Structure 1
Amino acid sequence: MLRIMPVGDSMTIGSAGEHTWRYRLWRHLCTTYGAPFALVGPRETLYDKAADAPTSHAYADPDFPRAHLAGWGEGWQHMAPLIGEAVRQARADLLLVSLGLIDLGFYTNAEQTAENVRAFVAAAREANPRVGMVLLPVIPNVRAQTDTGFAAQVALFNDLLAKTAADLDETRSPLLLASTPSSYDIHNDTYDGTHPNESGEHKIAAAFADAMHQGWDLGQPYGH
């Protein structure tokens, strides 16, 4: 059985009342993968905005494997110390990672964030030397439209992420760089300029699904 762990920030954990891209991808793989798989991870909840805590179980459709390693306001620097134990405990085979916006927005510059990517990869491989990873570039949010310095850092980090994925790729532990959804529009695919709405969830799920299909012949191209 392929054990897949979604890893990410607020765009991955989602908030109360949402489906999440994790759900969209699960539905897609159920019809296209053709072999047993599971979503795994140490957490299961959504973020509750009213409580300002990740305590909600109010998924729009809770009937799916909700496990993940994602957190509201968490980035590469937060997940790098956690990923080894999470991979060991969940026996994860494949990590689908969407991180970086929080790091660049509040904690680290592009070069420092890329170093945290390397630390994350090293820790994941120490836990499972054959773990595979799909890395999604940072999708610029509404801040990038008015803050040119932030936009430049996002662009630089995405370049560094591509180079890091190429440098660290190994046959036994492959790294795959997904493509940022080409049609992603923060005015139409988010509800606040950052967090995905229904169409945004589908497009993020598609980015991971299409990368896995194109890179590893896993599953099929994404379709609603």
Structure 2
Amino acid sequence: MVGSHPQVSAGDINSGSIAEPTPSIRGSPNTSSDIGGDSVRLSMHLHSASIASTQESTLPNPCKILIVGDSITQGHEGDHTWRYRLWQWLRSNATSHDFTFVGPYTGTDSPPAPMPPQPPRLGSDEPQKPEDSESVVKADGRYAADVPADFQGNHFSGWGWQLGQAKGMIRDVVNAYKPDIVLTLLGFNDIGWGFCEASEVLNRMRDFIQEARAAKPDITLLVGNIPQRRYMNGRQDLLENTNEFNQQLPRLLDAMRSDSSPLHAVKVAQCYSCTPDGCPAGYDGLHPNVLGEFEIARAFSLTLHEHFGIGDKALEVPSPREMPQRPRHVPTKVVATGAPMGVTVTWDAVFGARGYDVRNRMQGKDRWEVAQAQSNRFDTTFTVAGVAWEYQVRTNNGDGDNDKSEWSPVSTAVARRDTAPPPQNIQTFSKDLGIRVTWSPVGGDWEVDRYAVTVLDQDTPGAIIICYGFRGTEATLHGLRNGHCYSVFVGTWAFVNGISVGGLPAQASSVTPGEIFGGR
């Protein structure tokens, strides 16, 4: 989850434009028309007798809360989010404080739009960002259907955000919204996708705190530690740096304590049921499901209750029997049709679906192959014309069987193939830490867009397929492993009725970088 941050300039702050959603940062449609501007107020009734004995300070009344985070905090369309669970707790505990959630965004992350297969990026293009990366925050996703309209849910969170970005924005945002208290849950992406050491993330947290205080010297900050995720093969560094950060965070906060600016750690990792061995609180090994939302909200409620006397008691996580269930409807209107690259399958999007399973097989076969789709479209492209395919789709909201719907009825289509042939005379050559591939141009009347060069490391189990586009008849790939044998394929993308479509590739001779001789 890495991403470039949206630009927040002093000019934007002074003009007040940050308070209004821009065309690329849209507010959630799940809002109430009688809620003013960029905040939502909750009235609460405080019972002085219930204030915790450990209370160290008080919050102003009224009180503005700014919640800063990444995807764990923003949530996906159809989520309640832990922000909402905290809001529920604040409202139900009914203190005399008027709490206002502030921030430039109101919605969750919306699902991706269905797209046809795209040509591979050109080798000269800038490197692609990870899947979770967003250069512009998508904040037009709706909350769960039962979230009341008076929850506008303002926040300052986005998928892929890192502390490294937030520390450069927080001063302007605090200047704009004047929060009395900041609740932050950041740092996972700095380690997970930024490959930062724990010491660097701690430095970024220090800068974040200093920048917030520079904008408002009396601001209160509640800093969440980093939750663990289910173990990822090859990412022992993620486990170790998360542990190190969480061990050192209390020392950093102790060193930065100020009488005028209260600063407290929030033990999110200790409350969140997610470890390298398993993650019942996350639907994908990290991001919170319904249980996880309650657990993160509880962590922040504990700190608010213990240190500020907010609420009669901390939020209580519902029992398994009382835990709300996320809807998992069976996809409808599943239609498979022949397409220029094979078969296209579409269906009506299921609100709140985190993804879909699509199973397919050639007609007459017994065995199904299961693939995943993030939007309500799936394409079978590795097929010849004339083959009949069968499909079924189900909603997939997470890891467990209880997170999946039943399968849709079978839909059938016959594949087409209206694409250019692969090039001929493909040759491969070894280079130091790379390979060179040449081919002859495709003849005929084809309007070639680009050629796709695909390589796969045969000597690395679970290796990722690498595919780049090239214009011309030659490609050089760098950054490969000497001594590893690579399979090489070359295909043609050409324009058909104005749309670039990819043809089936041809396999070239395998090649091993670092060898004196060329292809083999």
TM-score by length of 2: 0.42
Q: Which has the higher contact order (CA 8 A, sep 6+)?
A: 1
Matches within 5 A, 1:141-156: 141-143=229-231, 147-156=235-244
Mean CA deviation greater in 4-13 or 159-168:
159-168
Aligned to 2:142: 58
1:69-120, CA deviations, whole angstroms, 9 ceiling, x for partnerless residues?
A: 1010001111101111111111101011101110011222111111111111
Q: Decide which of 86, 92, 95 is 2:182's aligned counterpart.
A: 95
- Alignment partners' CA distance in 1, 2:237 and 2:162: 19
CA distance in 1, matches of 2:102, 2:91: 15
CA apart distance, 1:58: 1.1
SS at the partner of 2:79? coil
Is the CA contact (8 Å cut-off) linking 1:13 and 1:70 kept in structure 2? yes
The one-letter code of the counterpart of 1:11 is I
- Asked whether the equivalents of residues 38 and 65 of structure 1 are also in contact (C-alpha less than 8 Å), the reply is no
2:200 partner letter: Q
Q: Any residues of structure 2 matched to 1:48-87 within 5 Å, and which?
A: 48-51=110-113, 54-60=138-144, 61=147, 63=149, 64-87=151-174
- Cα deviation for residue 181 of structure 1 reads 5.1
Post-superposition offset of 1:147? 2.9
Name structure 2 gaps, 5 residues minimum: 1-61, 114-133, 318-520
| Counterpart contact for 2:268–2:300, Cα < 8 Å | no
Tell whether the 8 Å contact from 1:213 to 1:221 is kept in structure 2 after alignment: yes
1:45 aligns with 2:133: no
The percent identity for this pair of structures is 29
Q: Which residue type is aligned with residue 35 of structure 1?
A: H
What secondary structure does 2:268 align onto? coil
Structure with greater proportional helix content? 1
Q: Does 1:172 align with 2:260?
A: yes
Q: What TM-score, normalized by structure 1, do the two folds share?
A: 0.94
Q: 1:23, CA displacement in angstroms?
A: 0.4
CA distance in 2, matches of 1:145, 1:172: 45
How do 1:107-126 residues align onto structure 2 when only pairs under 5 Å count? 107=194, 108-126=196-214
Corresponding residue number in structure 2 for 1:138: 226
Residue matched to 1:221: 314
Runs of 4+ in 1 over 2 A off after TM superposition: 143-149, 180-187
Aligned to 2:295: 203
Contact 1:181 1:203 in 2 (8 A): no
Distance 1:145 1:20 in 2: 28
- How far the C-alpha of 1:183 sits from its partner, in A, is 5.1
Give the letter aligned to residue 63 of structure 2.
L
- SS of residue paired to 1:29: helix
2:108 is the counterpart of 1:21: no
Return the alpha-carbon distance in structure 1 between the equivalents of residues 74 and 141 of structure 2: 11
Unaligned runs of 5+ in 1: none
Letter in 1 for 2:215: A
Q: Choose between structure 1 and 2: higher strand proportion.
A: 2
RMSD over aligned CA atoms reads 1.7
Say if 2:111 and 2:141, in contact at 8 Å, map to a contact too. Answer: no
How far the C-alpha of 1:62 sits from its partner, in A, is 5.3
Q: Secondary structure at the match of 2:112?
A: coil
Contact 1:15–1:56 under 8 Å retained in 2:
no
